[in-house]
Structure 1
Amino acid sequence: MPHSPAGSPVPRRRLGAHGPEVPVLGLGSWNTWDRMSMSDAVALIRDALAHGVELFDVAHYDMGPHAENARTDLIFGQAIREAGVAREDYLLCGKLWLWEYPKKGFAEQLAVSLDRIGTDRADLVVVGDYFGELDVPAVVGDVAEQIAAGRFTAWGVNNWSAGDVWRARRFAAEQGLTPPTFAQLKYSPARRTVPEGEPFAELFADGLAMQASDVLEGGILAGNLHPQRKIGADPGNIRDRIRAAHPLVARVAAEFDATPAQVCIAFCLANPTVATVLFGASRLGQWHDNLDALNLLTRHGSALRTALSAAWSDHDTANPAGSGA
């Protein structure tokens, strides 16, 4: 199955009622850019842009469980410059962490993270990673200050409960501020309870969009059952269940003449609430393989979702209302 040729742009969807149009695929940052040579990173960026994929999720991992002094954002900044890409020709999605908020405020975090990449603004940010009580009005107000300062134009959330997202959207509407327009959620054939549950379904009906992350569970669903690198958190402690689901994913992939990675990406995009799927790639061939998920989606999207129904692994461990509920 050949990958889509340059000049055939990846389809686009709106990232929520208040967000921009984005490609349905985006390249994430955690352990992406630091797993390849600089020349390969430059080639990957150029090839992604040639296919209309100009969305890059890039974060500075420096606090809470992510206090690891990662260099992936520095490498991305160098690679995008060496690729000769003008700032207006790509979309940068950054992160604002709540682990040490408000001690480490958003202005301070952005000043550091943007400087490391080598730019003065993002386009989008994801505000996330907290457990416990959240001062929602303060967060919405602080985000609004950064929007007014020209640091970014739209924002989303990660690891928020559906209730807190509602509170943020309502407070923003009351105050005439920019509401969160998307939720970055772990979503895959194995993790479905939160993204497909009724609490978030009501938000999606209200104009929120989903940005699907961890769609390959750090590579486990693609066949790397015991990744040696650090991967995302494991809500519900279901990694062993997800490993056990991989043979089903592989069997379905074989039935559809596809790879496990392709069926996972196509599964997510067959859900119309998903605006974009984030994934990492450490080599150009892997990027091309994932790109072919769009051909699979066009031909077999709904059938794939039915075939993968038994891979659902968090139906009895996750709260449909999401983190912090």
Structure 2
Amino acid sequence: ALKRLQVDYLDLYFCHRADPDTPIEETVWAMHNLITQGKILYWGTSEWTAEEINYAYEFAIGNNLTPPTMEQPQYNLLDRERFEVEYKTIFEKYKMGTTTWSPLASGALTGKYLEGVPEGSRASLKGYEWLRRHMIESDRGQERMQKVSKYIGIAKDHDLDPVKLAIAWCLLNINVSTVILGASNIKQLEDNLKSLDYLKEFENRELVKSLNNL
């Protein structure tokens, strides 16, 4: 992998979801060995449960091994419970960093799915039927769309772009180290980076309260 990437080492290596067929102890040892070999600097978890992270961390410390330093979870205005509730103790106890993904909830928070599935959108593509069900067709999807409609209304009331607002909101959480952006072109990336300009908008407590009560 290092040869394909044309690098000597990785700054951060994520273990995406705990492998149910591999003991966590073995994973911790493997990550520690990669660090001692100089192939990676740090390792992190991705979509692990708080229980799994806690076990891995305690096993590492108890055996003089390198514990995980980062978690890569989903976090946005519609998906908050795991990050804010389940991981709360993990953040307090281990001070782990995070690289959160899906700040726009797979595009839902743009508002583009409120009138159905637009042609060319990810949910319209073959193989993404699961996303349509999750986003729109299921009862849970309908509930989420109601929240999206309310959210778009809040953004309009404050004359704010919903995309930039949603990304900036993620950065409000003290436990968010990085927000992963899914830009498909340079202009989109540049627009998304302007979300940083929206942080000052959260001085408006009414806005923050409205968003947190979606």
Could you tell me the TM-score, scaled by structure 2's length?
Answer: 0.81
Question: CA–CA distance in 1 between the matches of 2:22 and 2:53?
Answer: 11
Question: CA–CA distance in 2 between the matches of 1:179 and 1:163?
Answer: 14
The aligned residue for residue 294 of structure 1 is: 196
- Cα deviation, 1:135-190, whole Å, max 9, x if unaligned, reads 11110000111111222111211121111101111111112221111211111110
- Partner of 1:217, secondary structure, is coil
Aligned residue identity for 1:165:
I
- Partner of 2:170, secondary structure, is helix
Q: CA deviation at 1:309?
A: 2.7
- Cα deviation, 1:66-105, whole Å, max 9, x if unaligned, reads xxxxxxxxxxxxxxxxxxxxxxxxxxxxxxxxxxxxxxxx
Give the 5 Å matches for 1:60-139: 111=1, 114-130=2-18, 132=20, 135-139=23-27
Q: CA deviation at 1:302?
A: 6.8
Structure 1 residues 133, 224: CA separation in 2 closer, same or farther (over 3 Å shift)?
farther
Native 8 Å contact 1:121 1:151 kept in 2: yes
Native 8 Å contact 2:28 2:60 kept in 1: yes
Structure 2 residue corresponding to 1:305, chosen from 200, 208, 211: 208
The aligned residue for residue 61 of structure 2 is: 173
Asked if residue 203 in structure 1 is aligned to residue 90 in structure 2, the reply is: yes
- Partner of 1:262, secondary structure, is helix
The aligned residue for residue 267 of structure 1 is: 169
Question: CA–CA distance in 2 between the matches of 1:288 and 1:239?
Answer: 30
Native 8 Å contact 2:75 2:102 kept in 1: yes
Structure 1 residues 162, 302: CA separation in 2 closer, same or farther (over 3 Å shift)?
farther
Structure 1 residues 286, 258: CA separation in 2 closer, same or farther (over 3 Å shift)?
farther
The aligned residue for residue 36 of structure 1 is: none
The aligned residue for residue 321 of structure 1 is: none
Asked if residue 215 in structure 1 is aligned to residue 103 in structure 2, the reply is: yes
The aligned residue for residue 82 of structure 1 is: none
- Cα deviation, 1:93-128, whole Å, max 9, x if unaligned, reads xxxxxxxxxxxxxxxxxx3xx333332321111111
Aligned residue identity for 2:91:
F
Structure 1 residues 240, 137: CA separation in 2 closer, same or farther (over 3 Å shift)?
same
Question: CA–CA distance in 1 between the matches of 2:188 and 2:159?
Answer: 17
Question: CA–CA distance in 2 between the matches of 1:154 and 1:131?
Answer: 19
- Partner of 1:292, secondary structure, is helix
Gaps of 5+ in 2: none
Question: CA–CA distance in 2 between the matches of 1:124 and 1:185?
Answer: 15
Q: CA deviation at 1:222?
A: 1.5
The aligned residue for residue 254 of structure 1 is: 156
Question: CA–CA distance in 2 between the matches of 1:214 and 1:159?
Answer: 13
Q: CA deviation at 1:209?
A: 2.3
The aligned residue for residue 41 of structure 2 is: 153
- Partner of 2:179, secondary structure, is strand
The aligned residue for residue 163 of structure 1 is: 51
Structure 2 residue corresponding to 1:188, chosen from 73, 76, 83: 76
How many pairs were matched up?
A: 197
Gaps of 5+ in 1: 1-110, 312-325
Question: CA–CA distance in 1 between the matches of 2:90 and 2:25?
Answer: 18
- Cα deviation, 1:4-39, whole Å, max 9, x if unaligned, reads xxxxxxxxxxxxxxxxxxxxxxxxxxxxxxxxxxxx
Which of the pair is proportionally richer in helix? Answer: 2
